[in-house]
Amino acid sequence: MKKQYRLLLFLLLTYSSTALSQNIGKVWYFGQYAGMNFSTTPPTPLVGAMVANKGCATLTNSVDNTIIAYTDGKTLYNKNHQIALNGSSLNGDGQASNSSYFLPYPNKPNTAILFTVDAWGVYQNVNPNSKGLCYSIVKVDSSTGLAYVVSGQKNILLKKPTSEKLAVTKHANGIDYWVVTHGAASTNNENRKYFAYLVTNAGVSPTPVVSTVGGIHNNPIGELNISPNGQKVCATTFYSNWAELLNFNNSTGVVSNPVHFTIPRCLGVEFSPNSQYVYITETGPNDPNSIRQINIATNNMVSIANITGAYTYSQMATAPDGNIYVANSGSTFLGKITNPNNANATYIKNGLALAPTGVTSRLSVPYATEMPITMCIATQTTDTICHGASVTLADSINGQSVTWTFNPPLQSPDNFVNNVLTLYNATSSIKNTVCSASNIPCANTRQISVYPEIAKKPTKNIAVCSNQSINIGTNANANYSYQWSPVNNLNNPNISNPTVSISNTGNSVLVQKYYLTRTLVSTGCSVVDTVAVSVAPNVVFQDTNICHGASVTLADSINGQSVVWTFNPPLQSPDNFVNNVLTLYNATSSIKNTVCSASNIPCSDSLQVGVYPKLQPNATALFQTCSNQSINIGTNANANYSYQWSPVNNLNNPNISNPTVSISNTGNSVLVQKYYLTRTLVSTGCSVVDTVAVSVAPNVVFQDTNICHGASVTLADSINGESVTWAFSPPLQAPDNFTNNVLTLYNATGSIKNTVCSASNIPCSDSLQVGVYPKLQSNATALFQTCSNQSINIGTNANANYSYQWLPANNLTNPNISNPTVKISNTGNSVLVQKYYLTRTVLATGCKVVDTVVVSIPPSVALKDTNICTGASVTLADSLNGQSVVWTFNPPLQAPDNFTNNVLTLYNESYVTKKINYSASNISCAATATVSVDKIAIDANGHLICSELFIPNIITKNGDGKNDFLKIEGLNLFKTNKLQIYNRWGKKMYEQTDYNSDWNGESFMSGTYFYLLELTTYTGQTLSYKGWIDVME
């Protein structure tokens, strides 16, 4: 008889070392009978037993995502939606904003700490009846899974009075927790104080970390929340119309650095999952309602939703799906904030539907947490195993190592190693062993029964030949099932005596072992029997037919044994069997059969070798043809044969009886090519070889050509060693001639003239056609005259049908065009004549004609410009290049200018240069020169020429009328002047512009002085003169 017992199973959950919000409970109960299961997609609406106006909390089993307990802070409900044992009259209240919070007790399975705060109701200052911050210990019965409040550990007071604010976060060590609330009394500034209580596995510390920071919470109604990363805390004050965001040190519990935000009627507060944003609801009975988003990094606040209506937005909570859900009083929907981790978060009013009947969220969404539940569950008390089987026993239960004891004590071969229990039973009845986890509470015994051993049959050996069928195994027994392994070659692996047929393609005996598992149907226990099948290799010969004179190689040994071959009928010459090679002949007209037997080899059959009759070859066939001439060779096709020519060179198809061959003979003698035709009888595969000889005379092929008028073609005097007799059509007529095998042709017509040349005595030779292009006419010699270094175009206009080439190419811009430019220098004293030759080539034929061009270049005559003073002369040449000169002047000469005996005399009394151009008018390529005449002139070095300027170097102040003044002669030739006198120390003593020879040095002492005279000509040139003057008494 089987007994039931309870085995304690412990599932260990390792909490994240980051924020508590990462372990959000997946089952929520809140508001008016509302509930939601977030473990499904989409979430499933639920109906609960609780009515909570605002604050509430849920605790979920993280093992199977079922509810453990939920509360409004005043009443605790179990998973059956019943008031939990000792779960009434808790010190919290569902009217409180943060009425309650379930905190898994660190390192205490099935235990949670339920924190509660009291509501303030109508009190906007201090509630004199506030029950403050309390906690109760909640446990889960491991048998029933029902939560209950531990007697004597209920409503343990931490502090009163406090506000309605309550929040929890993990300690920085990832193990402990902080429980944070805010003071309410105005005494000792408690309404400015945050109180942080440390929770460890030792329990709740009664001494809080106190931070006096932030604004005065005159009204204690509002919410408190801590960011998922545990670094920020946010509090709202409903009646004071502001919220504050502060830093939280989750190592020390200190709150600091407040930032104030003005928000009317602010209540709900929730952080984004990434802790970068905080959301606050603005709610009330009449006010426009909104949801504010604050960027924690910048403190920038925006509104993401605005709706007018009473209590449209209230509490908020982050769900496991990453969205933030918002309570909407009186609605059958929860609002939803999507993308809460981003600045572009969006609010959806009807974000998630609640259960359809009698359910609303009121102002409430829960603090939802989870923890694993350890349960004692029923299990089978008795295991039955087979002889030699094993059972693995747990090495630990509920985190505690197990000490296993056995009754009766184990005896060899029974053993227990590494928590594996192996048992044997050599008796004929069941053997029972009781296993006890002696040191584990809530654990009973486990009985393991072992069926008797099934007797194994001895190995069965069976001999058989390859591919021979045989039964193996035993007669069937209805008490057993059967399973053979391997299943290869078996007709049915699930019966007691299957048929096997094994192929042995090797050269030795093949042993195949089969294992028969016989399983006793009543117990499932089995035993394995062995059957060994020895498979001798079959020796199978494939009968064959061969052709006359062909051979077959017979094996010298089979399966390692030498073979003795016998033949029927016995062999007669020329048939022979040498070195295991059987060669047979057949001169008859029908198949001759010989039976070969390996007489000493068992399991071998006989080999019949048939010999087809001998095929007769055809006589050698001779064919004559010319080089590259196609001709059919071979015989007419016979459908009984296939054909194969060898070699295949030059054949159009080597697989037909009568292919076409075309052979090129590039030599000078007859080429003989032999082909071999293998005719194969299709029905037997026997063949015979015929021979075909093809004699190929070399072809004589001439290349037709066209030549120009008067050009020649050399014809061969012999072909293939034979002298050639040439014939011409039409016959040659003078001036055409054929001398010493050179054919010269002329054509004075306007079209091509053709002559056909034939090697009349040479076979396989074609004719040669020689075409003569019409004669080209040269142009008359062209004469061009130009001067030295003067460019001129020579030649003709371009014709697209010709190409052009000038010779020589000297002094040409481009020698490859019809009309290039030429520029020639003549440095001599006589005319230079340069001849050029223009070769015009017809592009279409390549025929050419040469034109002549003569360029005449007289020598250049260069005249030199000169400058003279008025009244001076220039002598001009009376002859140039041996030719008398006629001189002309521009403008014409006027008296007193004159030209006498080749002497040109010119005058100029003005102050402006006078220019006379003269040229040798009757001399080719002579230049023009200019004579410039000046009254006053300055040379290239700035020296004065053609003037009457005189500066004396002495003044006497004795009044004798001689040298009394510094009289400078020639000043009237200049437009302006300026005279400056300096003493020997460089001091300026006198200065006069437009000096008029009137300085007498009267006030000067006797001595040497220095002058600077600056002059300007009428043409704008400037001069300066320096010198000394002696002033004497």
Supply the CATH number for residue 26's domain: 2.130.10
Q: In this predicted structure, what is the pLDDT of residue 292? A: 93
Average pLDDT over residues 91-107: 92
Q: In this predicted structure, what is the pLDDT of residue 831? A: 83
- Asked whether residue 644 falls in the same domain as residue 732, the answer is no
Which of 65-69, 433-437, 441-445, 542-546 bottoms out in mean pLDDT, i.e. has the lowest?
441-445
What are the pLDDT digits (tens) for 852-866? 999 888 887 778 888
Q: In this predicted structure, what is the pLDDT of residue 13? A: 30
Establish if 260 belongs to a structural domain: yes
Establish if 398 belongs to a structural domain: yes
Quick check: helix, strand or coil at residue 686?
coil
- Asked whether residue 474 falls in the same domain as residue 494, the answer is yes
Decide: 376 and 442 in contact? Cβ < 8 Å: yes
Which residues touch 297 (CB under 8 Å, ≥6 apart)? 276
Q: In this predicted structure, what is the pLDDT of residue 433? A: 80
Strands 431-437 vs 404-407: parallel, antiparallel or unpaired: antiparallel
Q: Round to whole Å and give the CA distance between 945 and 869.
A: 8
State the first-to-last Cα distance of the chain, in angstroms, to the nearest integer: 174
pLDDT of 10 above 50: no
- Asked whether residue 693 falls in the same domain as residue 709, the answer is no
Tokens of 33: 């009978």
Question: Among 556, 580, 611, where does a domain finish?
Answer: 611
Average pLDDT over residues 569-596: 88
Question: Among 674, 697, 720, where does a domain finish?
Answer: 697
Q: What are 266's strand-pairing partners?
A: 282
Q: Round to whole Å and give the CA distance between 686 and 691.
A: 17
Strands 767-772 vs 790-793: parallel, antiparallel or unpaired: unpaired
Range of the domain at 271: 20-371
- Let me know the angle formed at the C-alpha of 466 by 463 and 469, rounded to the nearest 5 degrees: 70
Tokens of 30: 């809140």
| Helices assigned H by DSSP within 860-914 | none
Decide: 139 and 110 in contact? Cβ < 8 Å: yes
Average pLDDT over residues 937-961: 78
Q: In this predicted structure, what is the pLDDT of residue 415? A: 93
What are the pLDDT digits (tens) for 756-812? 888 878 777 778 898 888 988 888 888 888 888 888 899 889 899 999 999 998 999
What are the pLDDT digits (tens) for 274-309? 999 999 998 877 667 889 999 999 999 999 988 766
Number of neighbours of residue 763 by Cβ within 10 angstroms: 13
Decide: 991 and 985 in contact? Cβ < 8 Å: no
Q: What are 568's strand-pairing partners?
A: 595
CATH number of the domain residue 925 falls in? 2.60.40
Q: In this predicted structure, what is the pLDDT of residue 893? A: 87
- Asked whether residue 740 falls in the same domain as residue 690, the answer is no
- Asked whether residue 528 falls in the same domain as residue 603, the answer is no
CATH number of the domain residue 524 falls in? 2.60.40.10
Q: In this predicted structure, what is the pLDDT of residue 930? A: 87
Establish if 924 belongs to a structural domain: yes
Q: Round to whole Å and give the CA distance between 61 and 25.
A: 8
Confidence band of 244 (pLDDT split at 50, 70, 90): very high
Q: In this predicted structure, what is the pLDDT of residue 397? A: 72
Confidence band of 111 (pLDDT split at 50, 70, 90): very high
Mean pLDDT of the residues in the chain: 87
Decide: 188 and 215 in contact? Cβ < 8 Å: no
Establish if 397 belongs to a structural domain: yes
Share of the chain above pLDDT 70, in %: 94
Decide: 923 and 881 in contact? Cβ < 8 Å: yes
- Asked whether residue 901 falls in the same domain as residue 968, the answer is no
pLDDT of 312 above 90: no
Q: Round to whole Å and give the CA distance between 384 and 391.
A: 10
- Asked whether residue 162 falls in the same domain as residue 278, the answer is yes
Number of neighbours of residue 133 by Cβ within 10 angstroms: 28
Decide: 815 and 807 in contact? Cβ < 8 Å: yes
What are the pLDDT digits (tens) for 604-625? 778 898 888 988 898 888 988 8
Q: What is the pTM of this model?
A: 0.44
- Let me know the angle formed at the C-alpha of 777 by 776 and 780, rounded to the nearest 5 degrees: 155
Establish if 231 belongs to a structural domain: yes
Confidence band of 322 (pLDDT split at 50, 70, 90): very high
- Asked whether residue 96 falls in the same domain as residue 42, the answer is yes
Average pLDDT over residues 210-217: 94
Closest CA relative to residue 278, chosen from 293, 263, 266, 268: 293
Q: In this predicted structure, what is the pLDDT of residue 126? A: 55
- Asked whether residue 359 falls in the same domain as residue 222, the answer is yes
Closest CA relative to residue 47, chosen from 31, 58, 39, 35: 35
Establish if 378 belongs to a structural domain: no
SS3 content of the chain, % helix, strand, coil (to 5): 0, 45, 50
Which residues touch 573 (CB under 8 Å, ≥6 apart)? none
Strands 937-938 vs 873-875: parallel, antiparallel or unpaired: unpaired
The dihedrals phi and psi of 760, each to the nearest 5 degrees, come to -70, -25
Decide: 8 and 397 in contact? Cβ < 8 Å: yes
Q: In this predicted structure, what is the pLDDT of residue 8? A: 31
Which of 7-11, 241-245, 431-435, 791-795 bottoms out in mean pLDDT, i.e. has the lowest?
7-11
Tell me the CA distances in angstroms from 603 to 255, 470, 537, 597, 910, one per residue in order: 100, 16, 8, 12, 151
- Asked whether residue 308 falls in the same domain as residue 426, the answer is no
- Asked whether residue 811 falls in the same domain as residue 677, the answer is no
Confidence band of 225 (pLDDT split at 50, 70, 90): very high
Which of 171-175, 659-663, 760-764 bottoms out in mean pLDDT, i.e. has the lowest?
760-764
- Let me know the angle formed at the C-alpha of 48 by 42 and 52, rounded to the nearest 5 degrees: 110
Q: In this predicted structure, what is the pLDDT of residue 313? A: 77
Q: Round to whole Å and give the CA distance between 13 and 34.
A: 28
Average pLDDT over residues 710-723: 85
Q: What are 1010's strand-pairing partners?
A: 982, 1028
- For residues 123, 127, 129, 134, the Cα torsion angle rounded to the nearest 10 degrees is 120
Q: In this predicted structure, what is the pLDDT of residue 815? A: 92
Question: Among 638, 665, 697, where does a domain finish?
Answer: 697
Average pLDDT over residues 63-71: 94
Confidence band of 816 (pLDDT split at 50, 70, 90): very high
What is the distance, to the nearest Å, from the Cα of residue 237 to the centroid of all Cα atoms in its chain? Answer: 57
pLDDT greater at residue 481 or residue 882: 481
Q: In this predicted structure, what is the pLDDT of residue 11? A: 29
Closest CA relative to residue 872, chosen from 917, 903, 912: 903
Establish if 709 belongs to a structural domain: yes
Q: In this predicted structure, what is the pLDDT of residue 123? A: 45
Tokens of 763: 């076979």
What is the distance, to the nearest Å, from the Cα of residue 607 to the centroid of all Cα atoms in its chain? Answer: 68
Q: Round to whole Å and give the CA distance between 517 and 487.
A: 12
Average pLDDT over residues 963-977: 86
Q: In this predicted structure, what is the pLDDT of residue 444? A: 65
- Asked whether residue 192 falls in the same domain as residue 220, the answer is yes
pLDDT of 941 above 50: yes
Total number of domains constituting the chain: 9
Establish if 409 belongs to a structural domain: yes
